[in-house]
Amino acid sequence: MYQLSVTPYNRPFRQPLQTSQGEWKTRKGIIIALEDSQGRVSYGEIAPLPSFGSETYEEALKFCSQFSQGISLAAIYQIPEQFPACQFAFESALKGLTATQIEEDGFALSYLLPAGKKALEKCHYAKEQGQKTCKWKIGVFSLQEELAWFQQLINILPEEMTLRLDANGGLTVSEAEQWLKVADASGRVEFIEQPLPPSQFQEMQELAKGFQTVLALDESVGTLSQLETCYLQGWRGVFVVKCAIAGYPHYLRQLCQTYPLDLVLSSVMETSVARQAVFRLATTLSPHRALGFGVNHWFSEKSS
Ligand SMILES: [Mg+2]
């Protein structure tokens, strides 16, 4: 048995994060601590993202409350599929009991720019941090404005830098085609992420065939079982995996051993607790693409 303690947290962004789906102002989550019979303590983080199919913060809190007398090893591995963020947190905490600290220095990160024109003022920070990849949200402003800013952006960015464009499912097929054309012509786009909503999987398959620029699925593959389904339905582009809401880490390792997946491990704006667990996973999975974790500048140090 492991003793469980639960600490909710509230962490506001420095400025709201804008996507095609709206604004996000505060990251709410839960830090769990597991204590084993020898008195060793390890932490895990539940950082839900219901818009990507995870449980809600309230559901996670309620789930944890049933283990106020402690949780067994068997129970940790029997967390229902509807609680993928809890699955991640509990298994990570368990593994953390015997893990060593991972240094982040060796990892390439993708630096998250603000949406819209603000990206033009901020993109030099990516270079200053030694990163070669930036990510920019699209589908937030009008297509014409964003296409114009995109041209300015690639003119400012050093030649060796590439861009990830993330539409969060907010484009139409015709808008996605225009972005893909421009991306192909620029040669500077690593991939376009989730151009269409998850319901338009077939349309994304079709789009992927017509252009050189790679497409990535993100919202479509919120959980690992969805990722496996999309692979089995023929998706051979990139998969963005938000590990902290995707389910058990051992399931992800297993999928990587079974299929040749092209992965980007990506942030859900978690604290250093889940972040550390994802970097630990990254050391075993060694994905060749930059991690979607260039996000620390979105938070001030303080949190409550
Ligand atoms: Mg995304």
What pTM value is reported for the model?
A: 0.94
Question: Which residue in 137, 181, 209, 302 is the catalytic one?
Answer: 137
Query: How do the pLDDT tens digits run along the chain, 304 residues long?
Result: 999 999 999 999 999 988 888 899 999 999 999 999 999 999 999 999 999 999 999 999 999 999 999 999 999 999 999 999 999 999 999 999 999 999 998 899 999 999 999 999 998 899 898 999 999 999 999 999 999 999 999 999 999 999 999 999 999 999 999 999 999 999 999 999 999 999 999 999 999 999 999 999 999 999 999 999 999 999 999 999 999 999 999 999 999 999 999 999 999 999 999 999 999 999 999 999 999 999 999 998 644 4
Residue 117 annotated in active site: no
Within 10 Å of residue 106's Cβ, how many Cβ atoms?
A: 9
- Backbone dihedral region for residue 50 (phi beyond 0: left; psi -120 to 50: alpha; all else: beta): alpha
Residue 118 annotated in active site: no
The full set of domains in the chain, from first to last, is 3-96 (3.30.390.10), 109-298 (3.20.20.120)
105 annotated to a ligand binding site: no
Q: How far apart are the first and last CA of the chain?
A: 29
Question: Which residue in 118, 135, 209, 242 is the catalytic one?
Answer: 242
Secondary structure class of 126 (helix, strand, coil): helix
- CA of 54 from ligand 1 middle (Å) equals 15
